């Protein structure tokens, strides 16, 4: 557990934005690992990979079980987040000075509106820089399915951002 905890904590922190849930998720992961240990076969997959996959599945289950709002409204954003969206949509040249924390917060709120599998695939692909093959191996999906889902999830994310941008009137 001491060896695997940093890896589990890192995965959870990258995929779960609410800090107050991190410890509960870690405990759930290790409970699932200990309960599934009799089924683990070292000859088929390395322990770290197996635990990583369990961690991602725990995050995915939690996303599914959460009641989520189908769309994000302009009024749901804080002042800094609203500024980040305004600056991103109005800056035509390369001189965007957007606060990274606010932009990351908007991104996580938009990702929260996606289905759990879509969110997981986009996070692994674009935030963690994993390849299609790595994502397929981690999720148990085929490479083609990962590619198609990533394409569709990006379209959904883009549409959600478009709705959000239309929700404010630039001054």
List C-alpha distances in Å: 132 to 98, 103, 122, 137, 155.
30, 25, 11, 9, 18
Average pLDDT on 63-80 reads 68
pLDDT, residue 158, reads 87
Domain 1-66: top CATH class: mainly alpha
User: Kind and range of the H or E element at 32?
Assistant: helix 22-36
What's the pLDDT score for residue 171?
46
129: alpha, beta or left? (left if phi > 0; alpha if psi -120 to 50): left
Angle between helices 100-112 and 79-90 (to 10 degrees): 90
Overall fold of domain 83-171: Arc Repressor Mutant, subunit A (1.10.10)
pLDDT tens profile 162-171: 887 776 655 4
**pTM (two decimals):** 0.60
Each residue's pLDDT tens digit, 77-133: 778 777 777 777 665 555 556 777 877 878 878 887 888 888 889 988 988 899 999
Share of the chain above pLDDT 70, in %: 85
- Tokens 């599934």 belong to 36
Residues near 74 by beta carbon (within 8 Å), at least 6 away in sequence:
82, 164, 167, 168
User: Which sequence spans correspond to the domains of the chain?
Assistant: 1-66, 83-171
């Amino acid at each position: 557990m001491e060896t695997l905890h940093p890896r589990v904590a890192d995965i959870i922190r990258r995929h779960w934005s609410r800090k107050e849930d991190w410890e509960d998720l870690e405990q759930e992961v290790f409970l699932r690992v200990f309960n599934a240990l009799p089924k683990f076969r070292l000859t088929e997959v390395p322990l770290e990979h197996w635990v990583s996959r369990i961690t991602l599945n725990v995050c995915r289950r939690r996303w599914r079980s959460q009641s989520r709002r189908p769309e994000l409204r302009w009024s749901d954003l804080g002042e800094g987040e609203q500024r980040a969206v305004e600056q991103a949509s109005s800056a035509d040249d390369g001189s965007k000075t957007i606060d990274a924390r606010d932009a990351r917060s908007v991104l996580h709120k938009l990702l929260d509106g996606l289905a759990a599998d879509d969110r997981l695939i986009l996070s692994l692909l674009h935030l963690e820089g994993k390849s299609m093959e790595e994502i397929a191996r981690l999720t148990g999906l085929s490479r083609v399915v990962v590619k198609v889902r990533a394409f569709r999830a990006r379209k959904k994310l883009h549409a959600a951002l478009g709705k959000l941008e239309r929700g404010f009137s630039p001054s």
